[in-house]
Structure 1
Amino acid sequence: MTGSTTKSCYVGVDVGTGSVRASIVTKSGKVLASSTQETKTWRDPHDHRVFEQSTTDIWSRIGVAIKDCLSASGVEPSAVKGLGFDATCSLAVTDFEGEPVIVTKGEEIGGHGERNTILWADHRAEEEAELINRTGSVVLDYVGGKMSLEMEVPKVLWLKKHMSPEHFHKCQFFDLPDFLTYQATRDSSRSTCSLTCKCSYVANSGWQKEFFEQIGLEELSEREYAQMGPKDGEEVLIAGMPVGEGLSKKAAEELGLRPGTPVGSAIIDAYAGWLGTIAARFADDKQELSEVPTIEESGHRLAAVAGTSTCHIVQSPSDIFVNGVWGPYKDPILSGWWMNEGGQSSTGQLIDFILTTHPAYPELVELGKKNQKPIHTVLEERLEKLRTESAVETLTELTKDLHLYPDLHGNRSPIADPRMRGSIVGLELSNSLNDLAKKYHATLLAIALQTRHIIDTLNGAGHHISAIYMSGGQAKNAGLMQLFADVCGMPVVLPRDSGGAVVLGAAMLGRLAVEFAQGEGGSRGKLKEGQAERLWGIMVEMTPPGTLVSPKASPREKKLLEAKYKIFLESIEIQKRWRKEIEDATK
Structure 2
Amino acid sequence: MTSNAGPFYIGVDVGTGSARAALVNLEGTILSESTYATKTHRLESDARIFEQSTTNIWSQICTAVKDVLKSSGVSKDDVKGLGFDATCSLAVTDAQGQPIQVTPKSTFTPGDRNVILWADHRAEEEAKLINSTGNMVLNYVGKTMSLEMEIPKVLWLKKHMPADVFQKCMFFDLPDYLTYRATGDTARSNCSLVCKCSYVPPGVDGSELGWQPDFFKTIGLDDLIKNDFAQLGGIPGRNGMVLTAGQPVGRGLTEQAAAELGLQAGTAVGSGLIDAYAGWVGTIAAKAKNGPKDQSTNLIDSQYRLAAIAGTSTCHCIQSPEGILVDGVWGPYKHAVFPGMWMNEGGQSSTGQLIDFIIDTHPASERLKGLAQEKGTSIFALLHGILDDLSKERNAPTLSHLTHDLTIYPDLHGNRSPLADSSMRGLISGLKLDQGSSDLALKYYATLEAIALQTRHIIESMNAKGHQIKRLYMSGGQVKNAVFMQLMADTCGIDVQLPYSHSASVVAGSAILGRFAHELQEKGIDLSGVQQDLAEKASFEHRDRLWQLMVDMTKPGTLVHPNTKDETIKRILDAKYTVFTEAIETQRRWRSIVSKAM
What's the offset of the Cα at 1:370? 2.2
What's the offset of the Cα at 1:297? 1.6
Q: Sequence identity, in percent?
A: 57
1:321 aligns with: 325
TM-score (norm 1): 0.98
Map residues 40-119 of structure 1 onto 2, 5 A cutoff.
Answer: 40-109=39-108, 111-119=109-117
Q: Choose which of 277, 283, 294 in structure 1 pairs with 2:298.
A: 294
1:575 aligns with: 587
Q: Choose which of 249, 252, 261 in structure 1 pairs with 2:267.
A: 261
CA distance in 1, matches of 2:87, 2:412: 21
Structure 2's unaligned 5+ residue stretches are: 527-533
What's the offset of the Cα at 1:520? 5.5
Q: Choose which of 119, 122, 125 in structure 2 pairs with 1:121.
A: 119
The code of the aligned residue for 2:15 comes to G
2:335 aligns with: 331
Does residue 377 in structure 1 map to residue 374 in structure 2? Answer: no
Does residue 550 in structure 1 map to residue 556 in structure 2? Answer: no
What's the offset of the Cα at 1:223? 1.3
What's the offset of the Cα at 1:5? 4.5
The code of the aligned residue for 1:192 comes to N
Q: Deviations over 1:389-416 (max 9, x none)?
A: 0011010011111000000000001000
What's the offset of the Cα at 1:254? 0.5
Q: Is the 8 A contact 2:335 2:342 kept in 1?
A: yes
- SS for the counterpart of 1:486 is helix
Does residue 430 in structure 1 map to residue 442 in structure 2? Answer: no
What's the offset of the Cα at 1:353? 0.2
CA distance in 2, matches of 1:137, 1:28: 46
1:252 aligns with: 258
What's the offset of the Cα at 1:222? 1.2
Q: Choose which of 456, 460, 464 in structure 2 pairs with 1:456.
A: 460
The code of the aligned residue for 1:176 comes to L
What's the offset of the Cα at 1:232? 5.1
Q: Deviations over 1:348-384 (max 9, x none)?
A: 0000000000000011102211222111111001001
The code of the aligned residue for 1:42 comes to H
CA distance in 2, matches of 1:7, 1:212: 48
Map residues 358-507 of structure 1 onto 2, 5 A cutoff.
Answer: 358-507=362-511
Map residues 105-254 of structure 1 onto 2, 5 A cutoff.
Answer: 105-109=104-108, 111-204=109-202, 205=207, 206-231=210-235, 233-234=237-238, 235-254=241-260
CA distance in 1, matches of 2:272, 2:144: 25
Q: Deviations over 1:504-558 (max 9, x none)?
A: 0000000000111001548323311223201100000000000111111520111
Q: Is the 8 A contact 1:132 1:154 kept in 2?
A: yes
CA distance in 2, matches of 1:383, 1:203: 51
What's the offset of the Cα at 1:448? 0.1
Q: Deviations over 1:464-510 (max 9, x none)?
A: 00100011111111111111100000010011111111000000000
Q: Deviations over 1:121-169 (max 9, x none)?
A: 0000000000000000001000000000000000000011111001101
Q: Is the 8 A contact 2:236 2:242 kept in 1?
A: no
Q: Which stretch shows the higher mean deviation, 198-207 or 269-278?
A: 198-207
CA distance in 2, matches of 1:297, 1:211: 35
Paired positions, count: 582
CA separation of 1:107 and 1:121: change in aligned 2, threshold 3 A: closer
1:563 aligns with: 575
Q: Which stretch shows the higher mean deviation, 195-204 or 114-123?
A: 195-204
1:344 aligns with: 348
The code of the aligned residue for 2:130 comes to I
Q: Choose which of 304, 311, 314 in structure 1 pairs with 2:315.
A: 311
CA distance in 2, matches of 1:335, 1:150: 25
2:529 aligns with: none
CA distance in 1, matches of 2:344, 2:550: 20
The code of the aligned residue for 1:467 comes to R
CA distance in 2, matches of 1:212, 1:412: 23
Q: Deviations over 1:1-24 (max 9, x none)?
A: 12x653211000000000011000
The code of the aligned residue for 1:122 comes to D
- SS for the counterpart of 1:544 is coil
What's the offset of the Cα at 1:25? 0.2
- SS for the counterpart of 2:268 is coil
CA distance in 2, matches of 1:569, 1:7: 53
CA distance in 1, matches of 2:314, 2:106: 35
Q: Is the 8 A contact 1:335 1:531 kept in 2?
A: no
CA distance in 2, matches of 1:270, 1:488: 21
The code of the aligned residue for 1:272 comes to A
What's the offset of the Cα at 1:90? 0.1
CA distance in 2, matches of 1:379, 1:211: 51
What's the offset of the Cα at 1:292? 2.6
CA distance in 2, matches of 1:284, 1:463: 25
2:542 aligns with: 531
Q: Is the 8 A contact 1:281 1:290 kept in 2?
A: no
What's the offset of the Cα at 1:419? 0.2
The code of the aligned residue for 1:160 comes to K
CA distance in 2, matches of 1:457, 1:233: 37
CA distance in 2, matches of 1:317, 1:467: 17
The code of the aligned residue for 2:549 comes to I
Q: Choose which of 570, 584, 587 in structure 1 pairs with 2:596.
A: 584
CA separation of 1:27 and 1:289: change in aligned 2, threshold 3 A: farther
Q: Is the 8 A contact 1:406 1:421 kept in 2?
A: yes
Does residue 9 in structure 1 map to residue 21 in structure 2? Answer: no
Q: Is the 8 A contact 1:281 1:289 kept in 2?
A: no
Q: Is the 8 A contact 1:12 1:23 kept in 2?
A: yes
CA distance in 2, matches of 1:246, 1:26: 19
Q: Deviations over 1:233-266 (max 9, x none)?
A: 5431000000001000000000000000010000
The code of the aligned residue for 2:462 comes to L
Q: Is the 8 A contact 1:239 1:509 kept in 2?
A: yes
CA distance in 1, matches of 2:294, 2:71: 34
